Structure 1
């Protein structure tokens, strides 16, 4: 891989000039926990390159204007052990699925999120960077699906569960905190609004009874989710400790750590209904996982930005600066 120099003197990786890699080619980090995480990612079957690319766009590329040259993207992901052919195949698939769109400038292709892809990203990543779980007044939203066909009920249930609903009966879903407008929009999109019944309870005592806690544990599979959070802590706490002991942080290590961190945490949050604290166990692993994610992100983000600025380029050259909203992640990065 050769290194080119922009007119402004900033170094940029010219990854696009090399041929397809015959095998993953990455330089090992000096940090054993980081190498273990990279190896774990590579050993997935199949390797989730498309999902990682979405993580990268949402976490790092979108804040910088959202558009990058494919060649520089290939160079950025090479240390993850993802070869060029797999990246190109994944980009093609994401484009076909409506996540990305391409613009040709000469012989180069520049990819950015589509409008639909950006809305999906904002919806999926909103939870990731929030300062914390909002307060709860004890109110519930209930959706009854008994008038839907079995196939339509399954479709609606899957979508509402992604939004934080849990099944408290075979045809009744409940959510302790949601926007009525969001529920209505979802049911309308799925052509299920006229055949669904939506109830809203009044605010009540937020302290959950024993029966309520048991119901929540059962309906939202709290024990299983807690195990996933424990695994996340087991994987990333050694990396947090190793990075804290470094006299000087390496920019590429920080980028890799940040990308893997958000990639794994995002997958967890897709399973997490974000229930109010009042309904969760006192030793809920999700709290410790969130604190670890926030602390690790705050530690590595600045050096990771240095690596992104040197490795990625747009049709105009350097990446645009991030906006103020970027620094509000996790309640404030500075």
Structure 2
């Protein structure tokens, strides 16, 4: 256990989940820590890295096997050792899931909207398209109409192609409006995106991680393992929040939106613990060639720049 009570609380909270989310934590670990260092590590070193979270070796092996079967990971045998890396599909999923996590800031909004009409899709296909578009930040603004104020058109087109829905979906783009966020628009946003519930989740994130931030700042010397555990749990929880967050423009959000404070806290905590967390990863993880490669240049651009 750590000497930091807030970190122990977070670890215990993770362990008490039923069932324990080992596979999800492994994906967080690959996206946050393994991929920037070449993407491939020995299973034995992964087991050692994950055991402090309370995940035993058997569950880790079972989770790795499941992720391989689901197309997230691929294995390579070198002698008696197995080395795991993200598949091409897994890497693309990771890039979609994580690129919003580490972004420095969101672009300004010009008032334009992207609308997708789904009425020509059959019921089953409409459901799968709706779910995928919601993950990309779209909300249901009318029956069979999904809208997003800041959509990535390339991602949208790729998604519709992948789901074989491109021919039966209708995409509109509106022009910028002089009044970006009228009273009616704000009410519609609260209804279509569940803003109040999401705000509650952000408040809970701040309640959980602010004590850890304060405790770490008070330490004369940061422990490398504590920093790794803190960073992994931080990104694990924040990533899950962002999957629910459409990242709407500020003009459409409440003035006291907790998502702003949560992002600032995440960025500050990540910057604080990353140097020592990287040292712990270098000590613990092995590749087929030995030590981990240096982190990629893109790693140091996370959250607007790391030291």
TM-score range, shorter chain: over 0.9
Choose 1 or 2 for highest CA Rg. 1
Q: Distance in 2 between matches of 1:103 and 1:212?
A: 52
Q: Distance in 1 between matches of 2:106 and 2:196?
A: 19
Q: Distance in 2 between matches of 1:137 and 1:280?
A: 15
More helix by share: 2
Contact 1:137 1:206 in 2 (8 A): no
Alignment partner, residue 32 of structure 1: 5
Alignment partner, residue 188 of structure 1: 161
Superposition deviation, residue 275 in structure 1: 0.5
| Structure-to-structure mapping, 1:150-189, within 5 angstroms | 150-189=123-162
Superposition deviation, residue 206 in structure 1: 5.5
User: Which of 248, 253, 266 matches 1:280?
Assistant: 253
Query: Is structure 2 residue 260 aligned with structure 1 residue 266?
Result: no
Superposition deviation, residue 289 in structure 1: 0.2
| Structure-to-structure mapping, 1:68-79, within 5 angstroms | 68-79=41-52
User: Which of 100, 104, 110 matches 1:131?
Assistant: 104
Superposition deviation, residue 323 in structure 1: 1.8
Runs of 5+ in structure 2 lacking a partner? none
TM-score by length of 2: 0.98
Query: Is structure 2 residue 18 aligned with structure 1 residue 45?
Result: yes
Alignment partner, residue 302 of structure 1: 275
- SS of 2:210's equivalent in the other structure is helix
Superposition deviation, residue 173 in structure 1: 0.6
Alignment partner, residue 188 of structure 2: 215
Alignment partner, residue 224 of structure 1: 197
- SS of 1:104's equivalent in the other structure is strand
Q: Distance in 1 between matches of 2:59 and 2:179?
A: 49
TM-score by length of 1: 0.91
Aligned residues: 307
Over residues 25-67 of structure 1, what are the superposed CA-to-partner deviations in whole Å (9 max), with x where a residue is unaligned? xxx1000000000000000000000000000000001111111
